[in-house]
Structure 1
């Protein structure tokens, strides 16, 4: 179904997973932003091989986590890592109408979906009965869109106004929306936009995650949210 297919131009075997396996602090920082809103029955859309899922499972208040992943290449990895978690092999369009959730999480997923507005409408339908929260992280700022974005199957990068508008048009009420990872904005712009890089250096990802990102994240959370960022976080209520 066209509204939920990932971009057919995606060519890489493992997308961002190899590098993100080293981004431990980054991954936990994302879940920390979502933590106050993740309670009860939680759906992770685009669960991949379960990297973010593992962090969500450690949260108090999460009674059940359900993974949703359409790409069969990742199913075995998810099931091996998290055999206790129910994995639905498909998209939101494949969920039964009776499914209800208290929260849904999407981390670097919405940009892969061509008809993102329709996807948001479906997500609201899954959350509306329980007035649940949708917690999203997406790549930010279209001026950073690079050959690597296209290689990963990204249809777009988002600005704050665009994402807010699409969420509200789908029937959500905004709780918060903010840019995330200011240092990553400049790093991505240099390496992948200006220098036209086409791969992640796992060692550099590890260095950034251990030495640079924790300081940047503490400043962003403790002082003020940045005016731009590598990513955009949105939390909205159905």
Structure 2
């Protein structure tokens, strides 16, 4: 699958999610306890999660594969930006200056876009200092693969065990892993599998955003055992 120079569906989705401030804060607050020191965000998009780190005065570098996203975040924020291709065959030489320099690397909804996910995780690991944390969020359950996934150029969806296996194959130590956003499964399935929508409807995301307090409560009730996404936190030993 070749990379679209301008990802229209991805851009539209990011702009819809941009307005979902409660949802974005929920995601941020979920990964925040695992973030420390100098942080690198892989796949910052238009900065929907980045802004919370910046508001909290965290030391964060923003990166993406697409130039147009980096242009957008460069206008929004003063933080440093860098173009990173996680499967660049010359990764070690091209990114030599930043290898081993970060205390935290996180990639939210990124790894599913990469066919060789093991190599992508290996290169994330290279960017970490020893003892640094890697935080990965990916979409959950292959049976939920639908029109949204196709339009967003996802190769696959994951189970908790599947993402843990990829992490473990790279000799990273699993710190924690859990599912995220249980009730979101319903909206994803109805809009993407039944109604065959190509992008997340803005009105649906707006309603979802209003109900985030309920959804957060639901995740706590089921102890994060099921969810639309799965989060895996690991450490470079």
- Normalized against structure 1, the TM-score is what? 0.88
* Cα 1:15–1:140 shift into 2, 3 Å: farther
Partner of 1:91: 85
Partner of 2:107: 106
Asked if structure 2 preserves the Cα contact closer than 8 Å seen for 1:159 and 1:232, the reply is: yes
Are 2:88 and 1:72 aligned? no
* Cα 1:166–1:50 shift into 2, 3 Å: same
Higher RCO (CA 8 Å, separation ≥ 6 residues): 1
Are 2:31 and 1:37 aligned? no
* Cα 1:225–1:159 shift into 2, 3 Å: same
- Distance in 1, matches of 2:215 and 2:12, equals 25
Gaps of 5+ in 2: none
User: How many matched pairs?
Assistant: 229
Q: C-alpha displacement at 1:218, in angstroms?
A: 2.5
Gaps of 5+ in 1: none
Asked if structure 2 preserves the Cα contact closer than 8 Å seen for 1:141 and 1:157, the reply is: yes
* Cα 1:7–1:174 shift into 2, 3 Å: farther
SS in 2 for 1:197: coil
Q: C-alpha displacement at 1:228, in angstroms?
A: 2.1
SS in 2 for 1:47: coil
Partner of 2:55: 58
Asked if structure 2 preserves the Cα contact closer than 8 Å seen for 1:11 and 1:153, the reply is: no
Asked if structure 1 preserves the Cα contact closer than 8 Å seen for 2:38 and 2:60, the reply is: yes
- Normalized against structure 2, the TM-score is what? 0.88
Q: C-alpha displacement at 1:121, in angstroms?
A: 0.8
Asked if structure 2 preserves the Cα contact closer than 8 Å seen for 1:68 and 1:91, the reply is: no
Runs of 4+ residues over 3 Å off in structure 1: 5-8
Asked if structure 2 preserves the Cα contact closer than 8 Å seen for 1:47 and 1:53, the reply is: yes
